[in-house]
Structure 1
Amino acid sequence: MSLVGAGARLIDVSSGRTLTGDELVTAITAQATALGELPSGVLFARTAVDLDSVLRYLGAFESGRAIALIDPALDADVLIGLIARFNPAAVLAAPDAEPPAGYTARDGHWVRDAKIGIHPHPDLAVLLPTSGSTGNPKLVKLSRDAVLSNATAIAEVLGIDADEVAPTSLPLHYSYGLSVLNSHLIQGATVVIEPSGVLGRGFWDAVVEHKATSLAGVPYHYEMLRRLKFDPEKYPSLRTLTQAGGKLRTELVTEFNDKIRAAGGQMFVMYGQTEAAPRMTTVPADRLAEKLGSAGPALPGGKFAIRRDDGSETTHPKISGEVVYRGPNVMMGYAESESELAAADQMGGVLATGDLGYLDEEGFLFITGRLKRIGKVFGNRVSLDDLEGAVRSAAVGIDVVAAVPAGDKVVLFAEGADKAICKDAAKALSERLHLHTSGFDVRPIDTVPLLASGKIDYRSLEARV
């Protein structure tokens, strides 16, 4: 099965090129041929939101060449560390710098001098790092079947057909952005490649010019769109909003659902992880208002269970525990070095998500927090996600907030707040949790740092504590 369905189109705003039909096939084939001439082993591709990056990805996928999609903004030392661990055949669209030992700069790439490397497992298609621009990321190993099955399931539940036009509102090295690309191309739909993102003027010009029909965003995007007083009535072609990448507060779900429905459209809230290629649920648009706070039922072909503290699993409603997902889109496993790229599937289609939640009577999933997003305030365990939600709902004027552990207290960074508002937020948390206010260090910050995916960069905030 091909990832590129009949009639699929790529519209590149920067160059003005449109590729479809035989011309698109020829461009993908040319990339596949060029990649096939490189040494054996996994390919690293620094993947920007541009036509070349899309064609490289499609050329690798269609020809069965395992490819890791890397953030172009990845710290140089992290990239060099990844190269040392995985010995890639080449680093495509390499930095404008001296290549590391064992590599030669060629046509904008770093190509490995040694012709022979470890052959990745034949099922392995795509690798995505587990973290952002810092740290020591593992690579999530996604099989060809996992990518194709998830793209097909998403297209089914969102009703994507050949008439859809999706702009690139998210980075393509981010699993959600890649999923938007995959789920549209597989249905023969159109993808508009525009690099400036949801907050860029050029993006919205492209939405109008090319009559985009959908918009994908993470919670931060919707927070910003609210500030900018986004009105879908100004974009008549736009009929679908989708949201994933974290839990969007319910009042914003309601607000944007009401807005798009008033314009004759629909909104879908989803839940996923990179390890699931990446999406696992979608709330049906016609049930979003009555299922506020839910991530929705499992996608076609998937199912959920809740793992209790004793290790047993249940699907009975209202029982909380770790969310376990089963489906054909589950990763093959993680890789921390080159040798693990050759390993067969280690997961068996089962993913322990690390998220806490429960199912309701209809099998709709509700996420309540993360196993590891826990801090302590004077010895009392608290959910950092819950603290963020409590600050936003305290009506003190804080919409964007990020909580990180700091010994026996918690530090919360409040975007755009002044010291008085921060003091009010700390007092609200103290009263809610019945703990002394000194346990909640609420600090003003001009802008909460974000990863390229639009998610909060908690690692960089922890470094400030």
Structure 2
Amino acid sequence: MNLLHPAARVVDAATGEILTRELIDAAERELPEKSPVFLAMTTTVPAIATYLAALRAGKPVLLLDPELDQTSLRARFTTDDVHPDLALLLTTSGSTGDPKLVRLSRAAVLANAEQVAESLGITGDDVAITTLPLFYSYGLSVLHSHLLRGATVILERTGIMQKDFWTAVNEHAVTSMAFVPSQYEMLRRLRFDPAKYPSLRTLTQAGGRLRAELIDDFAARMSTVDGRMFVMYGQTEAGPRMACLPSSSLTAKSGSVGLAMPGATFAIEDDEVVYRGPNVMMGYAETAADLARGDDQGGVLRTGDLGRLDDDGFLFLTGRIKRIGKVFGVRINLDDVEREFPVVAVAGDDKLHVFTLDTDTRALRTKIAEWLGTHFTGVDVRTIEALPLLPNGKTDYRALEASL
């Protein structure tokens, strides 16, 4: 499998190192005999060279957080027996569960790269910059979709809070940037002004729900420079992108995550969002024996998300099946609470526990209790200086639950 268009470029902003075919060839000669290839996916040219070499050689790759100890994973998943269609293994935990491996086929990886490229209109003139880890499916999809179309990817490691990042945006004439909700919150605090970056044309958002206020805010900022903002929705199990809402629909379809990716469909079955498409995973892996399994999904993914479709096929998410709590025995949707108030919500001990940056906890507790129609003693409000985040930028709900 070859994701690399002949015209595609990868450039390290700090060192100037450029990805070459010779580097990929050299990396292929160094690939291990055993499968899968365990790759600590740093945001560097050598790591990308090894990744592309493994894909080209038909060796499945397990992408890992460089800070993660590989010992237990190597013991669990090293094997001589892997399915011939298997291309990529990614860990997934979302914000609520234990990590496990998602098995993606070559066809699924290529299909989603093409779907994203088509939805965003990526061309060889585009220049993306890394804003997310490459072992995280959203960050990886930016790499895939741009390489496939012959675009340029700038590798930047300092992050959006540092001057070097924004210097690289201008020096390399970056045209598109991808962010998760927590990064959009940071950008607002930084008073992000797209006019300072003349080449910038596109912002994308995925990796969780972004407040409607912020979507409107950043769409308006981009419109001042004739730019675009796309809201996207996905899961690692779909390689990862499943839906896209373009700028042209942000107002008319406010609150939607968009239409299904090209060649795919959504259905609502028992209130659950079900996705059907060529980019759906083969299944999960919990042991080495699972790496020899074929396609368990048949192109169908039950997302675990609750939602509805409007008459035009646009998807609106309403919550997670697992994100349900109880207050005095009454079921509540924790995502509904987060949509209504500037809080992060978890449940436990027949109470609603919310975390907020607001210091007026008494007033907030009263408002939430009134909104729920329950006594205020069923609501616990705590001020927090900063939310705990997972490496992919999502809220670490398990850390919040552990703090109760």
- State the TM bucket, normalised to the shorter chain: over 0.9
TM-score by length of 1: 0.84
Amino acid at match of 2:72: G
Specify the alignment match of 1:300 in structure 2.
262
1:368 pairs with 2:318: yes
* 1:338-353 pair list within 5 angstroms: 338-353=288-303
Counterpart CA distance in 2 for 1:431 and 1:136 is 35
Q: Determine which of 389, 401, 404 is the counterpart of 1:450.
A: 389
Counterpart CA distance in 2 for 1:133 and 1:46 is 21
* Cα distance change of structure 1 residues 134 and 244 upon mapping to structure 2, 3 Å threshold: closer
CA positional deviation for 1:132: 7.2
Counterpart CA distance in 1 for 2:355 and 2:39 is 34
1:432 pairs with 2:371: yes
1:431-460 Cα distance to aligned partner (Å, 9 max, x none): 111111121111111110111111111111
1:411 pairs with 2:353: yes
Amino acid at match of 1:70: L
Amino acid at match of 1:284: P
Range with greater deviation from structure 2 (5-14 or 199-208):
199-208
Cα RMSD for the two superposed structures: 1.5
User: Helix, strand or coil for the counterpart of 1:293?
Assistant: coil
The answer to whether the Cα contact below 8 Å between 2:42 and 2:134 also exists between their aligned partners in 1 is: yes
User: Helix, strand or coil for the counterpart of 2:260?
Assistant: coil
Number of aligned residue pairs: give it: 404
Amino acid at match of 1:39: E
Counterpart CA distance in 1 for 2:63 and 2:243 is 24
User: Helix, strand or coil for the counterpart of 1:128?
Assistant: strand
Specify the alignment match of 1:40 in structure 2.
34
Specify the alignment match of 1:82 in structure 2.
73
Amino acid at match of 2:132: L
Identity among equivalent positions (%) equals: 53
User: Helix, strand or coil for the counterpart of 2:174?
Assistant: coil
Range with greater deviation from structure 2 (180-189 or 405-414):
405-414
CA positional deviation for 1:120: 1.3
* Cα distance change of structure 1 residues 190 and 247 upon mapping to structure 2, 3 Å threshold: same
Amino acid at match of 1:206: A
Q: Determine which of 325, 328, 341 is the counterpart of 1:391.
A: 341
Specify the alignment match of 1:138 in structure 2.
100
User: Helix, strand or coil for the counterpart of 1:121?
Assistant: coil
* 1:265-284 pair list within 5 angstroms: 265-284=227-246
Structure 2: tracts of 5 or more residues without a match: none
Specify the alignment match of 1:94 in structure 2.
none
Q: Determine which of 249, 252, 255 is the counterpart of 1:290.
A: 252
Specify the alignment match of 1:212 in structure 2.
174
CA positional deviation for 1:18: 2.5
* Cα distance change of structure 1 residues 354 and 133 upon mapping to structure 2, 3 Å threshold: closer
* 1:154-303 pair list within 5 angstroms: 154-303=116-265
CA positional deviation for 1:197: 2.1
The answer to whether the Cα contact below 8 Å between 1:124 and 1:141 also exists between their aligned partners in 2 is: yes
The answer to whether the Cα contact below 8 Å between 1:375 and 1:404 also exists between their aligned partners in 2 is: yes
Amino acid at match of 1:435: T
Specify the alignment match of 2:56 in structure 1.
62
The answer to whether the Cα contact below 8 Å between 1:118 and 1:338 also exists between their aligned partners in 2 is: no
Structure 1: tracts of 5 or more residues without a match: 88-116, 309-320, 393-400
CA positional deviation for 1:378: 0.8
Moved beyond 4 Å, runs of 4+ = 132-136
Specify the alignment match of 1:12 in structure 2.
12
Counterpart CA distance in 2 for 1:135 and 1:253 is 28
